A and B are shown apart, each in its own frame.
Chain A
Amino acid sequence: MFVPNIFQFQKINYLFISMLFFCFAALIGLFAAIKIVHPTFSQSIPFIILRPLHTFWVIVALLSGVGGIIYKLTLHTFSKKEHAFYSLNFLCFIIWSSWVIVTGQASGREYFSWPLISSVFLEMFLIHLLLRLFQSKKKLYLQSPEAFWLLALGLLFIQNGLIESQYWHLHNLFKNYVADLSIQWHSIDTFFAGINTALYGGAAFLLDTKPKPLRKPVLFGIAAFSLLFTFGHHHYISPQPTLLKNLALIASLLAVISFWRHVKAYKKINPQQFKHDLTFPLWRAIEFWTLVSVASGVLFAIPQFNLWIHSSYLVVIHAMGSMIGVNFMIIVLANLAERKILTSSNENWLQNPVKWINLSLLGLWITLGLNGFLKGWQRFYISVDYIQSFRDNMLLLFPVLGFFLLLGIVRLSYGLWKLNHMEALSELG
Chain B
Amino acid sequence: MKTEADIIPRETSLEPSTSIKQSYRRILLVFVFNLLVSFSAYYLSLTQQDKISQSLTMTANQQLGQLVWQNKNCYTCHSIYGLGGHLGPDLTNEAGRRNRDFIQAYIQQGSIGMPAQKLDEKPLQQLIEYLDFLNKTGEFPTHTFPAHPYGYYSNIKQIF
User: Using a CB–CB distance below 8 Å, which chain A residues touch chain B?
Assistant: 36, 39-40, 46-48, 50-52, 73-77, 104, 106-110, 136-139, 141-143, 145, 148-149, 152-153, 156-157, 160, 164, 171, 175-179, 181-186, 190, 205-206, 209-211, 213-214, 220, 224, 227-229, 232, 234, 236-246, 249, 303-304, 307, 310-313, 315-316, 337-338, 379-380
**Cβ of B26 and Cβ of A149 under 8 Å apart?**
yes
**Cβ of A183 and Cβ of B138 under 8 Å apart?**
no
A214 cross-chain contacts in B, Cβ below 8 A = 18, 22-23, 26
Determine whether B97 belongs to the interface, using a CB cutoff of 8 Å to chain A.
no
Determine whether B109 belongs to the interface, using a CB cutoff of 8 Å to chain A.
no
8 Å CB contact of A153 from B8, B31, B72, B137: B31
- Name B75's closest neighbour in chain A (CB-CB): A110
Report the minimum CB–CB distance from B85 to chain A (whole Å).
6
**Cβ of A181 and Cβ of B45 under 8 Å apart?**
yes
- Name B29's closest neighbour in chain A (CB-CB): A224
Given contacts A224-B26, A224-B33, 10 further A-B contacts (CB under 8 A): A75-B3, A76-B2, A138-B20, A148-B23, A176-B58, A185-B83, A210-B10, A234-B82, A237-B81, A237-B149
- Name A193's closest neighbour in chain B (CB-CB): B34
Query: What would be 7 A-B contacts, judged by CB atoms less than 8 Å apart?
Result: A139-B4, A160-B35, A175-B58, A178-B48, A181-B45, A224-B29, A307-B145
**Cβ of A303 and Cβ of B37 under 8 Å apart?**
no
- Name B15's closest neighbour in chain A (CB-CB): A213
B31 cross-chain contacts in A, Cβ below 8 A = 153, 156-157, 160
**Cβ of B156 and Cβ of A249 under 8 Å apart?**
yes
**Cβ of A48 and Cβ of B76 under 8 Å apart?**
yes
Q: How many angstroms from the CA of A106 to the CA of B76 in the assembled complex? A: 10
Q: How many angstroms from the CA of A83 to the CA of B138 in the assembled complex? A: 50
**Cβ of B141 and Cβ of A171 under 8 Å apart?**
no
**Cβ of A186 and Cβ of B76 under 8 Å apart?**
no
B96 cross-chain contacts in A, Cβ below 8 A = none
Binds A, one of B63-71, B98-106, B119-127: B63-71
8 Å CB contact of A244 from B41, B69, B151, B160: B41
- Name A46's closest neighbour in chain B (CB-CB): B115
Report the minimum CB–CB distance from B116 to chain A (whole Å).
11
| In the complex, chain B residues 100-154 whose Cβ is within 8 Å of any chain A Cβ | 112-113, 115, 133-134, 137-138, 140-143, 145-147, 149-153
**Cβ of A177 and Cβ of B56 under 8 Å apart?**
yes
**Cβ of A380 and Cβ of B82 under 8 Å apart?**
no
- Name A215's closest neighbour in chain B (CB-CB): B26
A136 cross-chain contacts in B, Cβ below 8 A = 7
Known: A156-B27, A214-B26, A311-B82. A242 touches B155 (CB 8 A): yes
**Cβ of A108 and Cβ of B70 under 8 Å apart?**
yes
Q: How many angstroms from the CA of A220 to the CA of B29 in the assembled complex? A: 11
**Cβ of B140 and Cβ of A238 under 8 Å apart?**
yes
Q: How many angstroms from the CA of A136 to the CA of B20 in the assembled complex? A: 12
8 Å CB contact of B84 from A110, A239, A380: A110
8 Å CB contact of A52 from B37, B73, B150: B73
Report the minimum CB–CB distance from B11 to chain A (whole Å).
6
**Cβ of B14 and Cβ of A211 under 8 Å apart?**
yes
Going nearest first, the 7 A-B pairs with the smallest beta carbon separation are: A108-B70, A311-B82, A238-B81, A241-B44, A179-B45, A48-B73, A51-B76
B26 cross-chain contacts in A, Cβ below 8 A = 149, 153, 214, 220, 224
Known: A39-B113, A229-B37, A238-B138. A245 touches B152 (CB 8 A): yes
| In the complex, chain B residues 34-79 whose Cβ is within 8 Å of any chain A Cβ | 34-35, 37-38, 41-42, 44-49, 52, 56-58, 63, 67, 69-77, 79
8 Å CB contact of B27 from A153, A183, A240: A153
Known: A108-B69, A145-B18, A178-B48. A157 touches B34 (CB 8 A): yes
**Cβ of A107 and Cβ of B70 under 8 Å apart?**
yes
Report the minimum CB–CB distance from B88 to chain A (whole Å).
9
Report the minimum CB–CB distance from A49 to chain B (whole Å).
8
